[in-house]
């Protein structure tokens, strides 16, 4: 028997699309509040994240890639934070009233651009001590993807040198922090003077402006013999230069979605990976945070009705992540 809090309601505000397309398809609407199935919880969201990948989902890119025909209205959004309002059968690790964050890509019961979201209990964890609800809301997707890249794709080891390309972006600034916690020495290639400052604050051993300084020059200064590995959160000539800065036989990896795909260099074949949040990855992520909160940078917060503007803002220079204030 599902357990709910006292304020049971039937409908909620959500931002939906009725067909795939541009930002103009995003509309606020009343839709039914989801009910938790077995092993699921419902979260009353306070904040949600805006992902760099959300426009691709809005345009129907993932549906086409996966050959699926989702039903409309369709609620986007794959991460957020708030308070658990209901738990389904067989949920033993979470309780109504807990303050939590969650990330669930293409969440089958609807996305996070809404007042309530229903997710598998294994994808939900308490908001870490010392972190705001906004920070916790936006860190799940990129934080776990960065960790997937660092630990599973690159197998970064303590003492190795690592280049993070796009180090002032959403994934990049968390990749810098997670990599230093794994013991790597980090060269951050950030965007702009403000980006360099953020990457330095994130703990990079050296930060350079990839929009102004050739990556090869920065890499030589950092490690004359080449780097052990690189994680690329953006594509283009400077990303290719980052791969070329890795020593032959070293490793380079990028999350699927980075365009153009980074080119191979002598003895280095960039490998694509996906975040694919699951309970085990979440456990590792939360374990690496421990009692040291991540310094998650939230550049701007938008209201639910401003989500089309948030999608436009994704294309403009900004540091860290964009958030939505739901409640
Ligand atoms: N497959 C998966 O599971 C998965 C999961 C999450 C994300 N992704 C993909 O991973 C990519 C990164 O995501 P994100 O959320 O981190 O996006 P993001 O915030 O846009 O990060 C990319 C960063 O790269 C910076 N950049 C671009 N060219 C640069 C250069 N020459 N020098 C220095 N910095 C440069 C951008 O700076 P400015 O724009 O500020 O100039 C931006 O900060 C996206 O393509 C996303 O779709 C994939």
Full DSSP string of 94-109: --TT-EEEEE-TT-TT
Q: How far is the CA of 214 from the centre of ligand 1 (A)?
A: 18
In a 3-state reduction of DSSP, which class is residue 284? helix
In short, whether 242's Cβ falls inside 6 Å of ligand 1 is no
24-62 pLDDT, tens digit each = 999 999 999 999 999 999 999 999 999 999 999 999 999
Q: Which residues of 160-182 are buried (b: 16+ CB within 10 A; e: fewer)?
A: bbbbbbbbbbbbbbbbbbbbbbb
Q: Write down the pLDDT at residue 45.
A: 98
Distance CA 185, CA 62 (A): 35
Q: Write down the pLDDT at residue 9.
A: 78
In short, whether 122's Cβ falls inside 6 Å of ligand 1 is no
Q: Write down the pLDDT at residue 171.
A: 98
Task: Give the predicted TM-score (pTM) of the model.
Answer: 0.97
Mean pLDDT of 206-225: 97
In a 3-state reduction of DSSP, which class is residue 294? coil
Sheet holding 161-165, edge to edge: 206-209, 185-190, 161-165, 227-232, 246-255, 271-273
250-294 pLDDT, tens digit each = 999 999 999 999 999 999 999 999 998 999 999 999 999 999 999
In short, whether 190's Cβ falls inside 6 Å of ligand 1 is yes
Query: If pLDDT is split at 50, 70 and 90, which confidence band does 1 have?
Result: low
Closest ligand 1 atom, residue 53 Cα: 47
pLDDT at 8 over 80: no
Mean pLDDT of 193-216: 98
Question: What is the helix (H) or strand (E) element at residue 259, kind and residue range?
Answer: none
Of 142, 153, 191, 236, best ligand 1 pocket probe by most atoms within 8 Å of the beta carbon: 191
Q: How far is the CA of 35 from the centre of ligand 1 (A)?
A: 34
In short, whether 12's Cβ falls inside 6 Å of ligand 1 is no
My answer on whether omega of the bond before 293 falls inside 30° of 0, hence cis, is no
In short, whether 198's Cβ falls inside 6 Å of ligand 1 is no
């Amino acid at each position: 028997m599902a357990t709910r809090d006292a304020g049971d309601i039937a409908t909620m505000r959500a931002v939906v699309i009725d067909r795939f397309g541009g930002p103009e398809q995003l509309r606020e609407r009343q839709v039914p509040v989801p009910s938790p199935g077995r092993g699921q919880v419902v979260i009353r969201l306070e904040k949600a994240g805006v992902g760099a990948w959300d426009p691709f989902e809005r345009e129907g890119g993932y549906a086409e890639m996966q050959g699926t025909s989702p039903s409309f209205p369709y609620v986007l959004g794959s991460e957020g934070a708030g308070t658990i309002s209901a738990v389904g059968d067989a949920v033993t690790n979470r309780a109504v009233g807990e303050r939590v964050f969650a990330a669930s890509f293409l969440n089958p019961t609807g996305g996070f651009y809404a007042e309530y979201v229903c997710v598998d209990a294994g994808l939900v964890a308490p908001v870490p001590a010392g972190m705001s609800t906004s920070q916790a809301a936006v860190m799940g997707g990129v934080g776990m993807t960065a960790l997937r890249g660092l630990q599973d794709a690159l197998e970064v080891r303590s003492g190795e040198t690592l280049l993070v390309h796009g180090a002032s972006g959403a994934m990049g600034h968390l990749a810098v922090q997670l990599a230093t916690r794994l013991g790597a020495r980090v060269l951050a290639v950030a965007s702009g003077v403000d980006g360099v400052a953020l990457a330095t604050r994130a703990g990079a051993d050296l930060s350079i402006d990839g929009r102004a300084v050739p990556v090869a020059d920065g890499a030589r200064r950092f490690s004359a013999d080449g780097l052990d590995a690189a994680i690329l959160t953006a594509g283009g000539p400077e990303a290719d230069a980052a791969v070329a800065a890795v020593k032959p036989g070293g490793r380079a990896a990028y999350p699927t979605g980075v365009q153009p795909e980074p080119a191979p260099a002598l003895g280095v074949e960039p490998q694509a990976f996906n975040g694919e949040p699951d309970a085990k990855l979440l456990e590792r992520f939360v374990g690496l945070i421990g009692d040291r909160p991540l310094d998650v940078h939230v550049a701007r917060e938008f209201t639910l009705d401003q989500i089309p503007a948030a999608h436009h803002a994704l294309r403009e220079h900004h540091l860290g992540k964009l958030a939505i204030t739901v409640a």
